[in-house]
Amino acid sequence: MAVSCRRAGRVWGRAPLGRAVLRRRLPAAGVAGRVEAASFTRPYAVAAAGGSGGHEVNGEELLEMCWRRHFLRGGAEPRPVLPWRDYLSGCHLGFGPLGVALRGNLVSQWWDSALPFREQVLAVDAPLHGPPAAANPQGLRLLRSEALHEALQGRGCSQEQGRPSLEEVLGASGMLRESLLPGALSQYASCLELVNRRLPCGLAQTGVCFHSVPESEQHNKNLVRIGERTTSLLAWFSSPRTTGQWLDYWLRQRLQWWRKFAVAPSNFSSSDFQDEKGRKGFNLHYRFPWGTETIETLKNLGDTELLQMYPGDSSKLLGRDGRKNVIPHVLSASGNLDRGVLAYLFDSLQLAENPLTKKKIAQRKVLKLHPCLAPLKVALDVGKGPTTELRQVCQGLFNELSENGISVWPGYLETVQVSLEQLYAKYDEMSVLFMILITDATLENGVVQLRSRDTTMKEMMHISRLTDFLTKYVTSAKNV
């Protein structure tokens, strides 16, 4: 339904795509051109490199802010009760809405780097649980508590007819997935046919895995909690003669990928190791305030796991390496993307001077996440002017930006009135790249105010140029 209003002799109307547009447009301003020219830089990275990107922050400040801005779920109000070690181990209530969006963006960037990078990388998937494995006493099992209770009741007395024994219950229980590797290896043979048995090739997968977390606070050291993590896996199959070269290659690529989105890339590092079987590998770390934590592991597995996955006929494992047919060696690159989210939260938080006060306790907190990772690219708010008409403009702009893949926060729906400085502080902590202010002037001439998170500069831009500007900004940041 068309909606129109007269303001100073000019007529507004609702366009077919849902965005309010001007009948008469203002000529492109030079100031908008300056904003576009600046959009292709990364001022937050430049500031950090120069040592003036802000004051150092501690884990307590970040934990409180991430809980308050819904990156993390922290427990009971008014303060989070979970320590960082619970988030690192995967024993927590989960991420909040902004944390889920941040992790989704990180997963998306991982796929963008894994699939197009090499010609023969295929995406695979596998279930969260596997079939019963009675022969394997280790691992996390999936079973009904009623069946376990019934079996335990029957152990202390003569076995009743029809009541299952504990061994039968455990033998029939499924196994929770602790690694993505077995599921990927089980699909190697079929995927090898898909690539015409040509080596090297790779299988890529992301998903949730489970692991045991010892409960150190308990008197019984055998008691454990179950943690979970979002994991990425690249299983790379290559000729035995080139495996060492590929390990070095993927080490460089993976370290470069983690550093790409960082304000302080030097906090991401690597170290080599050798397991009990003599197999070489590398751990990628992030330096948290309390020490380094592993976020990804690369390892040369040889052909052992592959031969165990396909016992008997090994001919189905043969791949073509030039004119030779060989059983490939497996290189695995397994990343903990949940820890990656925590690493980027620490990496991006900076304290800057608050323009309203010089007190240290009132310093402005800015979460300078990379534009590709920021959960929200834009916040839309209204200033002075007729509320109904301004919200119609915001709704149309919200629809247009969303249709173009730009995530938007609908600040114009907020009913509690706050100052602009309070809005800036809120959106800086939410890592919103730009705040767009729709005012009475927008109805007059189509110009909006665009405020940058990274530079705090406020520029004027015509509303018709916003979508193109924001799309180019994010795209250029991805290609840096």
pLDDT band at 398 (very low <50, low <70, confident <90, very high): very high
Taking phi over 0 as left and psi of -120 to 50 as alpha, with beta for the rest, 395 belongs to alpha
234's tokens:
């690249």
Handedness of CA 95, 96, 102, 107 (dihedral sign): positive
Q: What is the mean pLDDT of residues 21-50?
A: 39
Judge if pTM exceeds 0.85: no
Q: Given this model, what pLDDT does residue 76 score?
A: 53
Is pLDDT of 119 > 70? yes
Is pLDDT of 139 > 90? no
Nearest 5°: phi and psi at 324?
-100, 150
Residue 460, strand partner residues: 449
Is pLDDT of 251 > 80? yes
Provide the 10 A C-beta neighbour count for residue 214.
12
Question: What is the distance between the alpha carbons of residues 203 and 195, in angstroms, rounded to a whole number?
Answer: 11
H or E segment and range at residue 400: helix 387-403
Residue 363, strand partner residues: none
Average pLDDT, the chain: 81
pLDDT 10s digits, 258-316: 999 999 999 999 999 999 888 999 999 999 998 999 999 999 999 999 999 998 888 89
CB 282 within 8 A of CB 298: yes
Q: How far is CA 479 from the centre of its chain?
A: 18
Q: Is 207 exposed, middle or buried (0-12, 13-18, 19+ CB in 10 A)?
A: middle
DSSP string for residues in 323-359: TEEEPPEEEEEEEEHHHHHHHHHHHHEEEE--TT---
Q: Given this model, what pLDDT does residue 34 score?
A: 39
Nearest CA-CA partner of 471 in 440, 445, 433, 442: 433
pLDDT band at 134 (very low <50, low <70, confident <90, very high): very low
- My answer on whether omega of the bond before 375 falls inside 30° of 0, hence cis, is no
Is pLDDT of 133 > 70? no
Q: What is the mean pLDDT of residues 165-185?
A: 77
Is pLDDT of 442 > 70? yes
9's tokens:
């002799």
Strands across the sheet with 6-7, in order? 6-7, 10-14, 20-22
